[in-house]
Structure 1
Amino acid sequence: MNLRSSWVAETGQTREDTRLTQIGATNALNPVQVRSGILPGSYDGKYRLSGFWMTGSSAMSAVVSEGRAIVQGEISQGAYPVTLPSSEVVTFSPGNAQYGRVDLVVLRIYDKLYEGSNRNEAVVEIIEGVPEQTPKALPAPARSLPLYEVTVPAGASAGNGGIPWATSLKDLRTAVVSAGGILPVEGPVAPGAYPGQYQDTGSAIQRWDGGAWISYSSAIGGIVPNSASSTPASYTGQYRDGTGGQLQRWNGSAWAAAYPGPYFNDSLDGGYTTSTTYVNTLIDRADNPLSVTFTAPPSRAAILTFGSRMELSLATGTTGIASSAFMGVRVTQGATVVREPDDELAAVASKSADPTDAYSVATTQRLHSLTAGATYTVTAYYRSTNTNVRAWFDNTFLQITPQY
């Protein structure tokens, strides 16, 4: 057996044994003990955990690859560092004629100070399971680190195909790092040992808060990254980078745009009115009325911009009339009118007696004293100054830009 260990053998520990096993892996389990586990790493850097990897090598044998690990004993026994500097072959007993079984492959420390055996050594060992109709592995012995469960089918032997390695291995390996290191999670997730401990799940960094592992992106003030956008929110007011690249905020029940807007609506269809009072319906235009709905931001203020391409035309046989076209807006919150169309706040195009030029006109204003979180609707209204003058409106638009 070439598995090396420190401070187990009464005699014969070499300087090479000591050098190989001084691994500094002391990831805390509690104030006195450390976690048992395998040191992470691979030859090419592509894998998190390659130490003690096991793969089938023949019908009833498997190869356990080299690696370094630490096996924690009971609280008064200390931790045993071990190293397998070259691969080890393990061979399984033939299967039972009637039932399958599940064997457990472990790194095991024999220390005669704490057990009835007369052995002082570290070994890669198979804990053979009991053949049953529904087999399961036996518990791991004291001072051992589980590596794999291996299902041995009924009747498996070297002469009839052996163990189907592609489906029979269950990886139980767990990683361990030095104190303060970020632990790469492999296998079962164990509780943290102290608030502020970190682990890497492969998709998120997590911090132990004293009772649970909390994704780093879910910590107070953390923005959930796009790669973890399916992560549930931890609190109302948390932010995330949405899948569409939009910054979103958790409102207590759903993810919503953190900074909604701007809100926009327009019509490229032209229409006219001869009404001298404000109306929201234009003749010859299909999409009436033109409106836009928005949610008032926490600042209770928003920038309102609206406009149109306007033109004034006289009724047939009419000349010499100066006139104007007005575009205004009505602002409502539900059934409550917040603001009526007003000439002083309108976009205006005027003409003298007979010219029929077209004008592109827009205006920008500030809406204020809104109710934060309330829904408002802005609707376009139009009028002419003379019933004999058609006030035409084309390329009409409404835009609301919330202020944050």
Structure 2
Amino acid sequence: MALLTPLGSLPYPQPADAANIPVHIQSLAEAVDGRTVLRFADAATRDAKVTAPVAGMLCWLGTPKQYWYYTGSAWTQLAPGPVHKANTTAGTTTSTAYVETLTGSTGDPTTVTFTAPASGAVLVSVGARISSSAATACHLSANIRLNTTVALAAADTRAALVVGTNQCSATTQFQVTGLTVNGVYTATAAYKSAATTSTATFANRFITVTPVM
């Protein structure tokens, strides 16, 4: 009867076992198979072949060229990196409700797409050079969407804030939790002025989303 190695639980034969080398090699190969970095064309191919994944399995997907691992409950991307979008054009708004497109700018909306990590949490950073035409406030925040559904709306409590006519660089960072693991989200910069009688100007804008592991 084959015994198992102490760390990897890999089978190996004993002297009293039947001298059937192909069977012993097959047992070892099958035990090792799920511990290697598996390679598949895409997630659908992986799921069709790996019908009973176990925690710690690792695979490479040709599309979208990423490593994924099994957490014990779901496949998720291994060590996803931050995504970033910058917009160097300047634009204005007099809206007192958050808008994603500025007057006079190009490249709006300023949006990044990200996949929610296994923790279901990310850090969102937004920033710009901001000024107002009067002694009023300008706000820069972000809308988080899953497909077209707003998961977290832009809010003053999650906004970079500048008050007055002097142009200032301002940034803020906030954590978003409770995201659907592997859900594909967008984060879009959103802007507003504190008063319709004043013009808020935003230049050199950026938004960055960093996964929390």
Same fold per superposition (TM over 0.5): yes
What is residue 95 of structure 1 aligned with on the other side?
none
Q: CA deviation at 1:265?
A: 1.7
Q: Check the 8 A contact 2:111/2:189 in 1, yes or no.
A: yes
So what's the TM-score if we normalise by structure 1?
A: 0.39
1:335 equivalent to 2:155? Answer no
Which blocks of at least 5 consecutive residues in structure 2 are unaligned?
A: 1-14
CA root-mean-square deviation: 3.4
1:391 equivalent to 2:200? Answer yes
Query: Residues 277 and 249 (structure 1 numbering): CA distance in 2 closer, same or farther, change over 3 Å?
Result: closer
Q: Check the 8 A contact 1:239/1:247 in 2, yes or no.
A: no
1:209 equivalent to 2:23? Answer no
Q: Which structure shows the higher helix fraction?
A: 2
The equivalent position to 2:112 in structure 1, one of 284, 292, 298, is 292
State the distance in 2 between where 1:257 and 1:284 align.
38
The equivalent position to 1:268 in structure 2, one of 71, 83, 88, is 88
Q: CA deviation at 1:308?
A: 1.1
**Match for 1:293: what amino acid?**
T
The equivalent position to 1:326 in structure 2, one of 132, 139, 145, is 139
Query: Residues 392 and 240 (structure 1 numbering): CA distance in 2 closer, same or farther, change over 3 Å?
Result: same
Q: Which has the larger radius of gyration?
A: 1
Q: Check the 8 A contact 1:341/1:381 in 2, yes or no.
A: yes
Q: Check the 8 A contact 1:263/1:292 in 2, yes or no.
A: yes
State the distance in 2 between where 1:278 and 1:242 align.
39
Q: Check the 8 A contact 1:247/1:259 in 2, yes or no.
A: no
The equivalent position to 1:357 in structure 2, one of 144, 159, 166, is 166
How big is each residue's C-alpha offset from its partner over 1:258-317, in whole Å with a ceiling of 9 and x where there is no partner?
Answer: 2323122221111111222221111111111111222222212111111111122x3xxx
Instruction: Give the secondary structure class of the aligned counterpart of 1:209.
Output: helix
**Match for 1:305: what amino acid?**
S
How big is each residue's C-alpha offset from its partner over 1:50-86, in whole Å with a ceiling of 9 and x where there is no partner?
Answer: xxxxxxxxxxxxxxxxxxxxxxxxxxxxxxxxxxxxx
So what's the TM-score if we normalise by structure 2?
A: 0.70
Q: CA deviation at 1:247?
A: 6.5
Q: Check the 8 A contact 1:303/1:365 in 2, yes or no.
A: yes
Aligned length: 183
Query: Residues 376 and 247 (structure 1 numbering): CA distance in 2 closer, same or farther, change over 3 Å?
Result: closer
What is residue 249 of structure 1 aligned with on the other side?
68
State the distance in 2 between where 1:267 and 1:192 align.
64
Identity of paired residues, percent?
27
Instruction: Give the secondary structure class of the aligned counterpart of 1:264.
Output: strand
Q: Check the 8 A contact 2:76/2:117 in 1, yes or no.
A: no
Q: Check the 8 A contact 1:325/1:391 in 2, yes or no.
A: yes
Instruction: Give the secondary structure class of the aligned counterpart of 1:361.
Output: strand
Which blocks of at least 5 consecutive residues in structure 1 are unaligned?
A: 1-27, 33-190, 196-207, 315-320
Higher relative contact order (CA 8 A, sep 6+): 2
